[in-house]
Structure 1
Amino acid sequence: MYHVFVNDKPIILTTKVEKEDGFKNFLLSEVNIGKVIKLLNATSLEAVRLIGKKEDKLLKKFLKLLPNVVAGGGKVYNTKGEVLFIFRNNKWDLPKGKTEGKETIEATAIREVEEETGVAGLEITKPLDTTYHIFKRNGRHKIKVTYWFEMTTTFEGELFPQENEGITKVAWLSPKESQEALSNSYANIKILV
């Protein structure tokens, strides 16, 4: 089962048909993705389920429905066990961004965290879950596929929000502060933190 978010509402990719209660079922093979996005944005539906035949083919089939944007990001810990957050579009988020040229996804994740926050000396410790969300740019819907990595750093310098990317604040948040920040964050970030 996979979750692809439209704002904070999930499109759930599954092989199981369940009785509709707060959500609608559609066949993945016949779905009009534009209609599904509109339904989630314009109604009180909590979710949409796209039903496929084979678990191992759900994501591959879904990703063919819209253009994909590949990104890398980091959940960064400092030596005090605090997590690095950015504040953009009036929400707390984790630093991430699109791949450039032929760089590896790991290089993308490190570069984006450095650019968006000013933090240096990043080291990847392990991969985290990949997240999926649908966004609209220039009138077209796309799927952002973000590969996340847990990272550590001993960096203790000043934090610099990348203002030209709309980031207004960068902060190290304690575990308690992180939980508070999640009340004003995105559903896919809540999965990671």
Structure 2
Amino acid sequence: MRKVRTFLVLTLTAALSLAVAPGNATASNATPTPKAKIWVEKNPPAPSALTRKRIPEGDVTPMASGGGCANTQGAGVCISWQKSNNRLAGDFYVNSFYGISSTGTARVFIYNSVTGGYHYKYTAVTDHTGHYPVAYDGTSGSGLGYTTVDFYNSSGSLIMSADSPYQYWP
């Protein structure tokens, strides 16, 4: 009887771990989302000063490393490097409207050390929780990059900025 009880506890624990509640920004638990309202601004402002990360010094590792997602208040901001296409892929998730306006916007930038700094990608209306479109930035040589998203309220005032982890490529 004790073995049966232990088996049931382990089975239920495993089943519950698969039913993870949304909230972590990862591709493994991505669900289809409504079509995002996005556009490209003609002359967008630079990313906010809040997002200016200090670039680490030293050599870039010989293999791609880093990347993934970082959660900041209600947002998850992500980056990866696609070797086959030689490009960075950056995106974000709205996990909750804690610190993010449901009637606001988000400006997406990808920082690329090889091609010279921040590159504006698109602006989206933050009107739903879930995944927002992936933006790409070409790479060559070795370097590092990350995604920056500036979140604004409906009046256009900056609410917060969020960054992905660093992504290194060889």
Shorter-chain TM-score: what band?
under 0.3
Which one has a larger percent helix, Structure 1 or Structure 2?
Answer: 1
TM-score, scaled to structure 1: 0.24
TM-score, scaled to structure 2: 0.26
RCO higher in 1 or 2 (8 Å CA, sep ≥ 6)? 2
